[in-house]
Amino acid sequence: MWPNASSLGPCFRPMNITLEERRLIASPWFAASFCLVGLASNLLALSVLMGARQSSSQSRSSFLTFLCGLVLTDFMGLLVTGAIVVTQHFVLFEWQAVDPGCSLCHFMGVIMVFFGLCPLLLGAAMASERFLGITRPFSRPATASQRRAWTTVGLVWASALALGLLPLLGVGHYTVQYPGSWCFLTLGTDPGDVAFGLLFALLGSVSVGMSFLLNTISVATLCHVYHGQATAQQRPRDCEVEMMVQLMGIMVVASICWMPLLFWAGPQLCTDVPESGEFTEVLPLINIIGLLELLFFHF
């Protein structure tokens, strides 16, 4: 039985799409296979990282702790969001009938923002950790590095979750997005939507920009020391170079996957909500590709 329009929650808006069009947009088998490959890659990456942490130095152990936090975040992101999206593609349920009160939509909106921002924030935290480790190696106690790393990961998770909960407190809205299989923040002209969208885009952009700046300085410092007149003991070890290569790769992948979305969202916040879905149907794929590519790079 369909609920009355007046009883529907605030997450619904007009969407001109037929059932046949929804079937043609994405294959449920493709979505399921993509998520399964990502989950398997995450589990393999976690096992490799846990083994590497047992025999690593203090500085590398701290870096691997951040990587573990990033991989764990990616795993949970694929598991939770994939379960909802894949189920929708297989069943093709009507969101209005299944979730008239918008509880599921609000939950998915929160986790989309949470798992979307966490990789960018963790990338910035990793860049900061390597920047301090390379430019000021004696400014912090080595014994506290691993504990501090897990504390930082926890703060990143808490910050991303706090931001994701803002629409539930009245700042912005989560709405069902084209083609009706997922929920995300609303790009509209309402002051709350504009404030929340700009905060999301600004935080993501600042994280990527901070990673780029700190990684550039760290690489320049390593090159200067390596090619300078330093003694063999003062020159960077192979593990430091390896960590910077990994970090630069993570930064490049995150920039490619997220900056187009973040730059696109800003101008859209000052215009009417798009009706065609030309770009909105690509957003879940951008999110999953970004998470999956980060995982594959860890190897």
pLDDT in tens, 8-57: 667 777 777 666 666 666 677 777 787 788 788 878 878 877 776 665 55
List Cβ neighbours of 40 (8 Å cut-off, separation of 6 or more): none
State the pLDDT confidence band at 78, using cuts at 50, 70 and 90: confident
Q: What pTM value is reported for the model?
A: 0.78
**CATH match of 21-297 with 1.10.260.40:** no
Q: Are 286 and 257 in contact (CB under 8 A)?
A: yes
Alpha carbon separation from 186 to 14, 27, 107, 190 (Å, rounded): 13, 26, 14, 9
CA 176/CA 110 separation, integer angstroms: 13
Q: What is the pLDDT of residue 146?
A: 74
Q: What is the pLDDT of residues 240-278, one digit of tens each?
A: 666 677 777 777 776 676 666 666 655 555 554 444 444
Least confidently predicted of 41-45, 102-106, 167-171, 208-212: 41-45
Domain range list for the chain = 21-297
Q: Which of 5-9, 50-54, 180-184, 196-200 has the highest mean pLDDT?
A: 196-200
Residue 260: its pLDDT value, please? Answer: 66
> How far from the centroid of its chain's Cα atoms is residue 203's Cα?
12
The pLDDT of residue 88:
78
pLDDT of residue 235: 47
